[in-house]
A = this chain, B = another copy of it.
Amino acid sequence: MSESLQHVVGQRLRAHRQRLGLSQEKLADQLGYHRTYLGSVERGERNLTLVSLEQLAERLGVDPLDLLRP
- Contact residues in B for A54 (Cβ distance below 8 Å): 4-5
Count the copies. Answer: 2
Interface size, chain A (Cβ < 8 Å): 15
Q: Which B residue sits closest to A65, measured CB to CB?
A: B68
Tell me the dominant secondary structure on chain A's binding face: helix
Q: A64-B5, A65-B69, A69-B65 are known contacts. Are A50 and B48 too (CB-CB below 8 A)?
A: yes
Residues in B neighbouring A65, C-beta threshold 8 A:
65, 68-69
Chain B proximity mask over A1-23: 1 for CB below 8 Å, otherwise 0: 00011100100000000000000
Which residues does A use to contact B, with CB under 8 Å?
4-6, 9, 47-51, 53-54, 64-65, 68-69
